[in-house]
Structure 1
Amino acid sequence: MEYTKEFKERDELLGQLEARGLAIPDPTAALNFLTRVGYFRSGAYRYVFRRLLPPEKIDARLHQYRSDDYIAGASIEHVLKLEAFDFKLARVRQEGLLDFEVRLRAAMAHTLAAKNVAATRTSNSSRRAVATSSAEINPLANVQSSMRGPRPGGTRLSPAPKTKTSLSTTY
């Protein structure tokens, strides 16, 4: 399949949106929005403001349920507000996920430490073999080492220690 759409500058794309019924009261803000977000990504926010096709024109095979024209009263301002809401929602979700991750790791570490999983009893003595690798002590060590980056409070995860993976140390 050959690509047939012709390249258009952002101001031409804004003109096309206006011709399809999307009000653009502030062309400068709309142009900044398209520059920041992009025309095709903005389509996800514009989609809900497009007219529904009549049932006889719907093509479920191609997933075409909406016209290229916009509903009466639709404005680029609505699109901007929807994108701002989506951005804020993503930030709240990300912050909640990071908080959950930290709390989960703290609870797991506390539970594992209470069960003393870093040490195992040997069968013929009361001495314990001590785990020497971070993977033996912490099953999430590989996950943690791949999760570098800023943490709440400006802290960073430290790299997983590079140690032998044997249980040779005893006391």
Structure 2
Amino acid sequence: MNDTNRYGRPWKAFEEQLELLKARGMSVPDEVWAEAWLQRVGYYRLSAYWYPFRVFRLEQDAATGALHSVRTDDFVAGTTFSDAVDLYLFDRKLRVLLADALERIEVSLRVEVAYRLGRIDTFAHLHEDSFHPTFRERRDARSGTSVFAAWQQKHQGLVQRSKEDFVKHYREKHGPDMPIWVAIEVWDFGAVSQLLSMMKVPDQQAIAARYGVADWKAFTSWVRALSYLRNLVAHLSRVWNRNMVSEPKMPASGAPVWCAAFAGKPDLLAKPFVYLAIVRHMVDVICPGSQWRNRLADHLQAFPVQASQRKQSIAAMGVPDGWETWWLPERGQ
């Protein structure tokens, strides 16, 4: 059954897609080059990067008289196809830089969680009394079971789906249950984040302190936020000007100096840059002397200049004023 009529937007050839953009006011000086980008990346993915250049107009609600902004299909004067491509390339490199840092963070967190729990109980992840009693009572919204039981189901699924040779070897030699320092190697970032949030308070405090954060509740929110960021990066989703849905908390006390730039500013906490700041903080702790912060800063400072009359900037990422002074203090900025 063909559902084209129900959807209302028929398939278009690449040249038709380009003609549509031109009809809406986008300048395309090099049509061969632009069509190659549509073939390589796709209209829908690129549309996220030309969206900020769309014209908005005010409309009045007939019933209430309230004014609201409506996005049109037309583009702001001066917008070129390369404006969208440049933003796409900026975001792609941002994801590459983040993937590098998030791998280091995830591996480090695995070590910390497994080391602390494994010292107490080789199979701590299988025993609910290793964790805060709250999670024996709290219900998971989807399954209706306890939060810990729901996590157990996720753990078992990750183990069963794993194709790692060490998993097969261990289970053949020692049986189905793996020590936490083995099992944790098949978990994803989300599973590690969830387990951390279930740990007893002294354990969470100790791990937070390892990363220079006195407020363990804030630190748990950081790890949860980084898990969300990791999913965006892994699924090649847009990051640079996204409205984030897992807002990190700033520590109530003993906060790193840079946190003051975000404290009490919900508009900044809902944007990507605070996530980058958390990543920078974690990488500095895990890998002292790393040049990651420099590479990221250089990338931000090389934000592409657009031809469009509506200029985009890193401000759309929730960048606070004077960020360079604490991001790169060694440069004297």
The interval holding the TM-score normalised by the smaller chain is 0.5 to 0.7
* Cross-structure match for 2:70: 65
Superposed CA deviations along residues 101-154 of structure 1, whole A, max 9, x for unmatched, are 1101122233345x3523xxxxxxxxxxxx6xx968xx99758747969xxxxx
In structure 2, the CA distance between the partners of 1:48 and 1:147, relative to structure 1 (3 Å rule), is farther
| SS of match in other structure, 2:60 | helix
* Cross-structure match for 1:43: 47
1:159 maps to which of 160, 164, 167: 167
In structure 2, the CA distance between the partners of 1:141 and 1:41, relative to structure 1 (3 Å rule), is closer
More helix by share: 2
Matches within 5 A, 1:12-91: 12-56=16-60, 65-91=70-96
* Cross-structure match for 2:141: none
1:2 maps to which of 3, 6, 14: 6
* Cross-structure match for 2:108: 103
* Cross-structure match for 1:60: none
In structure 2, the CA distance between the partners of 1:26 and 1:70, relative to structure 1 (3 Å rule), is same
Matches of 1:165 and 1:3 in 2, distance apart? 48
Letter in 1 for 2:86: K
| SS of match in other structure, 1:159 | helix
* Cross-structure match for 2:15: 11
| TM-score normalised by the chain length of structure 2 | 0.35
CA RMSD in angstroms comes to: 3.5
- What is the identity percentage for the equivalent residue pairs of Structure 1 and Structure 2? 29
Matches of 1:102 and 1:144 in 2, distance apart? 17
Q: Is the contact made by 1:51 and 1:69 (CA closer than 8 Å) also made in structure 2?
A: yes
* Cross-structure match for 2:99: 94
Ranges in structure 1 where 5+ consecutive residues have no aligned partner? 58-62, 119-130, 150-155, 167-171
Query: 1:46, CA displacement in angstroms?
Result: 1.3
| SS of match in other structure, 1:23 | coil
Matches of 1:157 and 1:102 in 2, distance apart? 19
* Cross-structure match for 1:121: none
Matches of 1:103 and 1:143 in 2, distance apart? 23
Letter in 2 for 1:86: D
Letter in 2 for 1:6: P
Larger gyration radius, structure 1 or structure 2: 1
Following TM superposition, the consecutive aligned residue runs of length 4 or more in structure 1 with deviations greater than 4 angstroms are: 139-149
Query: 1:164, CA displacement in angstroms?
Result: 3.1
* Stretch deviating more after TM superposition (22-31 or 72-81): 22-31
Matches of 1:93 and 1:142 in 2, distance apart? 29
Query: 1:65, CA displacement in angstroms?
Result: 2.2
Superposed CA deviations along residues 2-56 of structure 1, whole A, max 9, x for unmatched, are 2333332111111111111111122122112111221122211111111012233
Matches of 1:148 and 1:64 in 2, distance apart? 48
Matches of 1:13 and 1:109 in 2, distance apart? 51
Matches of 2:165 and 2:157 in 1, distance apart? 11
Letter in 2 for 1:98: E
Matches of 2:44 and 2:120 in 1, distance apart? 54
Higher RCO (Cα < 8 Å, 6 or more apart): 2
Letter in 1 for 2:56: L
Matches of 2:76 and 2:83 in 1, distance apart? 12
